[in-house]
Copies of this chain bind each other. A is one copy, B any other.
């Protein structure tokens, strides 16, 4: 992660990170203000990848790019805090599905509102056309940077 000699010309990835971090902080902040102050960033990164009908630990681990053990550890915490529940997977007796619980749903709504608000700010700052292009570019980039999904 070296820096360009020319200051102000950071590499694309670092620029991505700065934006990402800003959003994460805002979401965590608003969650805390809404009474969900016990969610950590690591928990949030796993939580954000749960499908509406539930997701297996193994898949969550893959998506969040952590080991199964780490994903299980974070899901344990989310479960104890009431954000998710584990139910047996009807299609495979070995597996369990992590589903979003009531408290998790409430937190999702708060987070979603913040995300929308921050995206609106970004769109306002960039201009509509530029923001749309940004999303398109990042989505296309995902084709070669995200091995999952």
Contacts and interface: CB of A to CB of B under 8 A. Distances in A.
Nearest to A113: B2
Task: Classify the secondary structure of A's interface with B.
Answer: helix
A113 to B, nearest CB: 9
Interface stretch (A69-77, A85-93, A130-138): A130-138
Contacts of A4: 112
The number of times this chain is found in the oligomer is 2
Q: Interface residue tally of chain A, by bracket?
A: 35 or more
B22 A115 contact: no
With a 10 A CB-CB cut-off, give which of A1, A5, A119, A137 has the most chain B CB atoms. Answer: A1
A143 B130 CA distance: 15
A96 interface: no
A7 B50 CA distance: 11
A133 B130 contact: yes
Interface string A21-38: 111100100000000000
Contacts of A8: 139, 149
